[in-house]
């Protein structure tokens, strides 16, 4: 079996820099490297509905936003299958069967589910569909026999569950599934980008995001008011780079080439940090530099986005075609699943013959 990459996002909002550095950029690199047999990227609208059942319009509106973010970031329908989870009914079917292979208490112990229940104040009234989403996520992965899941650390418990279910299935019925592995972001800053307010995480609900779709003015406004070192009041004061969002972003995004291009006074980030720490370097200069870097990165994405926006029906066509292709793969897996589970009655000539014999008087 080959190497198959699969990953997805809940379409609950536009994608921001945290998504980009944490996974989207990596996906595009993986796509370009071509060092795999197939790549699937999907919008997890079914999963998004598990905690937005009363607001399907939100998912409907954001589906196209995320599709535009994918395409403008550089994912290409020629190189990777882009699809929509709800359009693959085989996934719901597989989820139903996989639910028998895991216990309620096992899901209850899932740290990601636990955190999400707290965050959403679901404690007393957990929607059953939400509770079961780790199993649905296992189905997302196993239906495509994906080997490699590029995702953040928070998805690790989901992968645990997926591997466990795959093992249980293979032991209980027969070897159908491969156990997938997570592919984590390369470094700490890529794993969790703080918000522009310096808070731990960039997140829509905190209002501290820079979106891939923000225009240059908006990005500059956001950078200008970014959190730095609250004790760095005058330019001459020594500054702190730890916990300083501007420097965390520079850690995540700047390269030595950026210094050569925009700020040749410094060879690299370390020299800049040293100066800032010593004192004598103002926040504004650093912010301007960050703005140049981010805009250089975002500009080609904006240009592509603008092009894609001119033909929205074509985007839906891409997703439709991708969903059809994905469905074909999932349907093949389901044939194997039904066979392994011995519920392939009508395709099993041997079964029909045996039963005929048994009842013949």
Closer to ligand TRP by CB, 6 or 135: give it: 6
Q: How many whole angstroms separate alpha carbon 13 and alpha carbon 43?
A: 11
Cβ(112)–Cβ(157) under 8 Å?
Answer: yes
Task: Using the rule CB under 6 A, give the single segment among 4-12, 70-78, 206-214, 263-271 that binds ligand TRP.
Answer: 4-12
196 sits near ligand TRP (criterion: CB under 6 A):
no
> What is the total count of residues that contact ligand TRP (CB under 6 A)?
13
Q: How far apart are CA 9 and CA 70, in angstroms?
A: 10
Q: Per-residue contact track with ligand TRP, 98 to 137, x per CB under 6 A? A: ---------------------------------------x
Residue with tokens 């301007």: 288
- The structure tokens listed for 243 are 């916990």
Report yes or no: 293 and 247 within 8 Å, Cβ to Cβ.
no
| Integer Cα distance of 28 and 18 in angstroms | 15
25 in contact with ligand TRP (CB under 6 A): no
Binding mask 45-74 for ligand TRP (x = CB under 6 A): --x---------------------------
Residue with tokens 């989901």: 158
Q: Which stretch binds ligand TRP (CB under 6 A): 3-11, 165-173, 214-222, 227-235?
A: 3-11
Alpha helices in the chain (DSSP H): 17-19, 25-33, 45-49, 56-73, 89-98, 104-108, 111-119, 128-131, 133-142, 156-172, 188-191, 216-224, 245-253, 256-262, 269-278, 283-309, 312-340, 349-359
Choices 5-13, 29-37, 220-228, 313-321; region in contact with ligand TRP by CB under 6 A: 5-13
User: What number of other Cβ atoms are within 10 A of residue 192's Cβ?
Assistant: 18
In the set 4, 9, 26, 244, which binds ligand TRP (CB under 6 A)? 9
Contact mark string toward ligand TRP, 306..345, x via CB under 6 A? ----------------------------------------
67 token code pair: 């599709």
Rounded to an integer, what distance in angstroms lies between the CA atom of residue 314 and that of residue 335?
Answer: 32
Q: How far is the CB of 156 from ligand TRP (least distance, A)?
A: 11
Laid out side by side, the sheet with 181-183 consists of 81-84, 38-43, 4-9, 148-150, 181-183
Q: How far is the CB of 338 from ligand TRP (least distance, A)?
A: 22
Residues 153-192 as x/- pattern, contact with ligand TRP by CB under 6 A: --x-------------------------------------
Contact flag: residue 232 with ligand TRP (CB under 6 A): no
Output 69 or 283, the one with its CB closest to ligand TRP.
Answer: 69
Beta bridge partners of 106: none
For 288, other C-beta atoms within 10 Å of its C-beta total 16
Site membership for ligand TRP, residue 141 (CB under 6 A): yes
Give the footprint of ligand TRP on this chain (CB under 6 A). Answer: 6-10, 44, 47, 137, 140-141, 149, 151, 155
């Amino acid at each position: 079996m080959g190497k198959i990459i699969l990953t997805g996002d809940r379409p609950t909002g536009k994608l921001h820099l945290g998504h980009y550095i944490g996974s989207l950029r990596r996906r595009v690199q993986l796509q370009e490297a071509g060092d795999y047999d197939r790549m699937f990227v999907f919008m997890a609208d079914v999963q998004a509905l598990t905690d937005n059942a009363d607001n399907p319009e939100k998912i409907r509106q954001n589906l196209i936003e995320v599709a535009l973010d994918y395409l403008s970031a550089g994912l290409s329908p020629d190189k990777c299958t882009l699809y929509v989870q709800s359009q693959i009914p085989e996934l719901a079917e597989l989820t139903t069967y996989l639910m028998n292979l895991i216990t309620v208490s096992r899901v209850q112990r899932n740290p990601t589910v636990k955190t999400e229940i707290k965050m959403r104040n679901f404690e007393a009234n957990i929607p059953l569909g939400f509770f079961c989403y780790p199993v649905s996520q296992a189905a997302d992965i196993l239906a495509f026999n994906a080997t490699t899941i590029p995702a953040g650390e928070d998805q690790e418990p989901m992968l645990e569950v997926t591997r466990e279910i795959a093992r249980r299935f293979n032991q209980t019925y027969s070897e159908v599934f491969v156990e997938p592995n997570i592919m984590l972001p390369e470094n700490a800053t890529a794993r969790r980008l703080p918000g522009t307010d310096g808070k731990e995480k960039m997140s829509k609900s905190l209002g501290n995001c820079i979106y891939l779709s923000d225009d240059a003015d908006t990005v500059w406004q956001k950078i200008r008011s970014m959190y730095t070192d609250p004790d760095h009041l005058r330019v001459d004061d020594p500054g702190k780079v730890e916990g300083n969002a501007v420097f965390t972003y520079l850690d995540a995004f700047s390269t030595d080439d950026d210094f050569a291009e925009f700020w040749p006074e410094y060879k690299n980030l370390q020299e800049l940090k040293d100066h800032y720490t010593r004192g004598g370097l103002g926040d504004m200069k650093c912010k301007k530099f960050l703005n140049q870097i981010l805009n250089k990165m975002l500009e080609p994405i904006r240009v592509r986005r603008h092009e894609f926006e001119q033909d929205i029906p074509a985007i839906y066509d891409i997703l439709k075609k991708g969903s059809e292709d994905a469905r074909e793969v999932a349907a093949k897996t389901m044939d194997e699943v039904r066979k392994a589970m011995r519920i392939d009655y009508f395709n099993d000539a041997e079964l029909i013959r045996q039963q005929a014999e048994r009842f013949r008087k």
